[in-house]
Amino acid sequence: MREQTSILIIYTGGTIGMVQDPKSGVLKPLTFKNLYRYLPVLENFDYQFDFYTFRPLLDSSNMSPSFWIELAKVIEENYESFDGFVVLHGSDTMAYTASALSFMLENLNKPVIFTGSQLPLGMVRTDGRENFINSIEIAAASEQETPVVPEVAICFENKLYRGNRTTKFNAEHFGAFVSGNYPVLAEVGVYIRYYGDLILKPNFKKLKVHKELDENIAILKLFPGINQNIVRNTLTTPGLKAVILETFGAGNAPTVAWFLDLLKEAVENGIVLFNVTQCKGGSVDIGKYETSAELGKIGVIGGTDITTESAVTKLMYLLGCGFPKKEVERLLQVSLRGEMTV
Ligand code: ASP
């Protein structure tokens, strides 16, 4: 007899787990004891569920690398016992957590599906019910005993995205996420339509969980008029190892001498500079315009179409692995988990 599919539901916090106190109207966290009250349909699934709750529950703005490490440990400890994982998480920083986990969970061969909602589960019009149920179906889906989605993904508003390709772009719409440079992995309608060619393939190797993350990085978002002191102070922050330069368009930046000199100095001081576009779609192409050619000469690394969320977490991961600068720079240009087009 086939064993029952088992899913571990990991509850970290966020709007999805909120219910409204009928008397005060205040939102308070849901406990798993009354989850079935709000989602009685869970009883109809022919899956075995188990629940893991983080204490304290966190609004996702309070998530940090130490939380990502805890989450990775929970998955590692339960990896062999479950067929798939559903992570309930606030949407605000979900793209960061999903990106981080994609790097930390090397050789992932099971689904880790993040979901949340814009309206609490305890509200009549909640989007959480649908997001949650779709995520369970996706985490449980298998073909010939192989998971259909063996990667870290985000399921929101009937779409499944590769986690490290997403950005939260809307604070009100139920469709809160965009994956500007990679198509959706699946769409939920009457059927769940999986786009198998776009989904990572399992490698059947043993899971390796990386638990060292180095936070000594910064993002320098360019804007017309950015001043010399701001750039200098950022690039000379004590302990700094890498900076994401959020550039314009196809990776362009001012060509004024003081700016280029400061970047050059930073590279000479051993800081990794990673060029990521501010655009939500399209790619950095160093050398396409005169305004990016100089960056290439200085030794700034082009991030092609990586998101800022993915760039932040990939840098923390690579620096956490303790690779020398040259190796970090090489791996930044390689797609490790499908996070960029190369
Ligand atoms: N502030 C909430 C959070 O990210 C919003 C949400 O759950 O979507 O935790």
Of 101, 122, 142, 120, residue with least CA distance to 6: 142
pLDDT of amino acid 33: 73
Active site residue 53: no
Predicted local confidence at residue 42, as pLDDT: 87
Q: Long-range contacts of range 283-291, CB-CB < 8 Å, 24 or more positions apart?
A: 283/181, 283/250, 283/251, 283/341, 284/247, 284/250, 284/251, 285/250, 285/251, 286/251, 288/250, 288/251, 289/249, 289/250, 289/252, 290/255, 291/248, 291/252, 291/253, 291/254, 291/255
Can you give the pLDDT at residue 149? 98
116 lines ligand 1 (CB under 6 A): yes
Choosing from 5, 12, 15, 167, which is the catalytic residue?
15
> What's the gap in Å between 14 CA and the centre of ligand 1?
4
Measured between alpha carbons, how far is residue 49 from residues 86, 105, 163, 277 in Å?
Answer: 10, 22, 23, 41
Q: What is the CATH topology of the domain spanning 217-332?
A: Rossmann fold (3.40.50)
What confidence tens digit (pLDDT) does each residue in 96-134 have? 999 999 999 999 999 999 999 999 888 889 999 999 999
Query: Is the peptide bond prior to 111 cis by the omega test (within 30 degrees of 0)?
Result: no
Q: Whole-angstrom Cα distance, residue 136 to residue 130?
A: 10
Q: Which fold has domain 5-209?
A: Rossmann fold (3.40.50)
Position 27 scores a pLDDT of 79
Q: Residue 169: what residue type? A: F
Please, where in the chain does CATH 3.40.50.40 lie? 217-332
Q: Judge if the beta carbon of residue 15 lies within 6 A of ligand 1.
A: yes
Nearest CA residue ID for atom 4, ligand 1: 90
What pTM was computed for the model? 0.96
The one-letter code for the residue type at 171 is A
What is the residue type of 224?
A: P
- 3-state class percentages of the chain: helix first, strand second, coil last, to nearest 5: 35, 20, 45
Low-confidence ranges of the chain (pLDDT < 70): 1-2
Answer whether 91 contacts ligand 1 (Cβ < 6 A).
Answer: yes
Angle, helices 65-78 vs 94-104, to 10°: value is 50
Centroid of ligand 1 to alpha carbon of 60 (angstroms): 6
pLDDT of residue 1: 54
pLDDT of res. 2: 60
Where in the sequence of the chain do the CATH 3.40.50.1170 domains occur?
A: 5-209
Whole-number Å distance, alpha carbon 296 to ligand 1 midpoint, is 38
